[in-house]
Structure 1
């Protein structure tokens, strides 16, 4: 790139989308890192001091549920979900495009349903308590509507690429120069 050229500044929508992806990634990294630390500490406590931390197993199970649901949206962006697309590939381009639109619409409706029903089950179980920590039992279930909402937002933000099956690798956290590396 010549010195006189300035890199194109992404639009506000592009920056917001990038921020949303980064926030999603950061939450997953934070949850996974704390899970690893807690499980390691619990193993050390159990085998070295013959005492375990009573709440670690329950807390890390809740974290794993949240990681799975929050990670589903990022996996969708990269085309990492299992899909049977042999039939789509055999069809003419116009019909293939229409089927991908139908699939995206069906996914959006399903995710919207998950958001609504997930909120209902979280509310229904909120007044119950988890056995070890006494947290609201709806907390693990809250991962369902939040993860489905995040996945729906991911789908809506890259709808056109999804329909075209134009999946891209989401850059890792801290990889601020990913665009320069691909240029």
Structure 2
């Protein structure tokens, strides 16, 4: 006999690929293709570095720096996709239980808070980009201008904030 509080009776939200995705104003394929491109670049530069190191006992100096940058871009792009698809981390006990009006209110509140957070991150990181540009900071590994890397934090943070606003609007239109 199973008791109601046992895990076998808890609802599990599993993404069903046969279900159509919600329509968004900006296609979700953008994040999907960016993810593919970044992952391919990461695999390519890592594999080439392994080959070069194996055959020459040397290593490309730029690969670690560029790999870290690509992993940060990948995390932000994946964050944007998860927000747009409403797959971000949340406490499902609170978010998916109770009356539909409460669920809708919590979904909208969460989306609004994400939009606010990533807008704040974008605004504050613009100062870092400005400082890197103004003082001519260069990257430690290969010496390129540091703002080439830091400019993507405010850009991708705004993308996440806009995806969160889109989620807020879509949740408001739900019955």
Q: Give the alignment's TM-score, normalised by structure 1.
A: 0.71
Distance in 2 between residues matched to 1:121 and 1:153, nearest whole Å: 21
Alignment correspondent of 2:130: 123
Deviation string, structure 1 residues 99-151 (Cα, Å, up to 9, x no partner): 22222222211121111112112222232111221122233332321221111
Alignment correspondent of 2:67: 60
Alignment correspondent of 2:94: 87
Alignment correspondent of 1:142: 151
Q: 1:16 to 1:123 in 2, by over 3 A?
A: same
Q: Please tell me whether the aligned partners of residues 84 and 166 of structure 2 are also in contact (alpha carbons under 8 angstroms).
A: no
Alignment correspondent of 1:24: 31
- How far the C-alpha of 1:160 sits from its partner, in A, is 4.2
Q: Extract unaligned runs of 5+ from structure 2.
A: 1-22
Distance in 2 between residues matched to 1:37 and 1:80, nearest whole Å: 29
Alignment correspondent of 2:12: none
SS at match of 1:17: coil
Q: 1:88 to 1:39 in 2, by over 3 A?
A: closer
- How far the C-alpha of 1:41 sits from its partner, in A, is 0.5
Distance in 2 between residues matched to 1:138 and 1:32, nearest whole Å: 22
Q: Please tell me whether the aligned partners of residues 155 and 162 of structure 1 are also in contact (alpha carbons under 8 angstroms).
A: no
Alignment correspondent of 1:180: none
Q: Please tell me whether the aligned partners of residues 17 and 157 of structure 1 are also in contact (alpha carbons under 8 angstroms).
A: no
Q: 1:93 to 1:24 in 2, by over 3 A?
A: closer
Distance in 1 between residues matched to 2:69 and 2:95, nearest whole Å: 37
Distance in 1 between residues matched to 2:42 and 2:95, nearest whole Å: 40
Q: Which residue of 164, 168, 175 maps to 1:159? A: 168
Q: Extract unaligned runs of 5+ from structure 1.
A: 1-13, 166-183
Q: Please tell me whether the aligned partners of residues 86 and 167 of structure 2 are also in contact (alpha carbons under 8 angstroms).
A: no
What is the aligned-residue RMSD (CA, Å)? 2.4
Q: 1:145 to 1:83 in 2, by over 3 A?
A: same
- How far the C-alpha of 1:164 sits from its partner, in A, is 8.3
Q: Give the alignment's TM-score, normalised by structure 2.
A: 0.74
